[in-house]
């Protein structure tokens, strides 16, 4: 257990170093400081690569490729029900709630509508927020940057599944018959939470 905690702490420290470096590169005007911040960023990437399964090239791609003040990314996940079953989508042999990144020109609601349409072919109406979670506190593996996952309860208007480049199938499941989940995107407790929100008349938003 201690070994796991030590790795988690090193990853957390690497993320903090990356944030300091990125923010420093954003605001400093001094060339020597820029070189120092670039070195701090390089060290943070090396630590992250040592303590995860990612190559140094991949770490730099996803961990050290942004500019500007560092903030968490936003991801939406949609919960839709029919006959007391929840809709999941299949991608690479595992299942998850439909959803994805919020683009710079989208809102939480419009992004949810867009992602569901792309992955399921369905037209929906977002009804309310179920939860806002810190992804690294719930999903695995841990990412080298912060992500806020926003779970939305939605109502289906119309449509049917259409083949697309992201998902190969969509299907409704009861909580007792869930398939193998892609824990990078959706875990059992998150699906259970969506069932609880669907069945509650006075649901209060959960947030980390």
The H-or-E segment that residue 169 falls in is strand 169-173
Residue 6 CA, distance from chain mean position: 24
In whole angstroms, how far apart are CA 168 and each of 93, 120, 121, 177, 195?
9, 9, 12, 19, 24
- Give the pLDDT score at 151: 98
pLDDT tens figures, 75-131: 999 999 999 999 999 998 999 999 999 998 999 999 999 999 999 999 999 999 999
The confidence score (pLDDT) of residue 6 equals 79
Sign of CA dihedral 72, 144, 141, 102: positive
Q: What pLDDT does residue 4 have?
A: 58
Helix spans in 52-187 (H): 56-63, 108-120, 135-138
Give CA–CA dist 48/144, Å, rounded.
7
* Residue 134 CA: distances (Å) to CA of 69, 79, 95, 142, 146: 19, 18, 20, 11, 7
User: Do 108 and 76 touch, CB atoms closer than 8 A?
Assistant: yes
Question: What burial letters (b/e) apply to 138-176, b meaning 16+ CB within 10 Å?
Answer: bbeebbbbeebbbbbbbebeeeebeeeeebeebeeeeee
Which tokens go with 68?
A: 């500007």
Residue 62: its pLDDT value, please?
Answer: 67
Task: Report the alpha-carbon distance of residue 55 to residue 46 in Å, rounded.
Answer: 9
Question: What are the phi and psi torsion angles at 128 (to 5°)?
Answer: -165, 160
pLDDT at 120: 96
What superfamily in CATH does domain 73-207 come from?
Nucleoside Triphosphate Pyrophosphohydrolase (3.90.79.10)
Per-residue pLDDT, 156 = 98
pTM over 0.75: yes
CB 17 within 8 A of CB 44: yes
For residue 1, what pLDDT is reported? Answer: 44
3-state secondary structure of 86: strand
pLDDT of 50 reads 83
Low-confidence ranges of the chain (pLDDT < 70): 1-4, 62-63, 144
Label residue 53 left, alpha or beta by phi (over 0 means left) and psi (-120 to 50 means alpha): alpha
């Amino acid at each position: 257990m201690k070994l796991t905690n030590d790795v988690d702490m090193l990853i957390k420290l690497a993320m903090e170093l990356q944030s300091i470096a990125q923010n420093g590169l954003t605001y400093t005007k001094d060339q020597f400081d820029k070189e120092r911040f670039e070195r701090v960023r390089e060290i943070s990437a090396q630590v992250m690569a040592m303590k995860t399964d990612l190559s140094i090239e991949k770490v730099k791609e996803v961990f050290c490729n942004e500019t500007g003040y560092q903030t968490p990314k936003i991801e939406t996940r949609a919960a839709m029900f029919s006959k007391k079953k929840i809709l999941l989508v299949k991608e690479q042999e595992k299942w998850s709630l439909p959803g994805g990144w919020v683009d710079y020109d989208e809102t939480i609601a419009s992004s949810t509508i867009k992602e569901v349409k792309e992955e399921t072919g369905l037209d929906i109406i977002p009804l309310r927020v179920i939860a806002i979670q810190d992804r690294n506190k719930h999903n695995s593996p841990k990412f080298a940057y912060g992500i806020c996952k926003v779970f939305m309860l939605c109502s289906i208007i119309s449509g049917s599944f259409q083949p697309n480049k992201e998902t190969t199938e969509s299907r409704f499941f009861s909580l007792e018959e869930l398939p193998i989940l892609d824990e990078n995107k959706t875990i059992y407790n998150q699906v259970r939470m969506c069932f609880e929100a669907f069945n509650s008349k006075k649901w209060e938003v959960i947030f980390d």
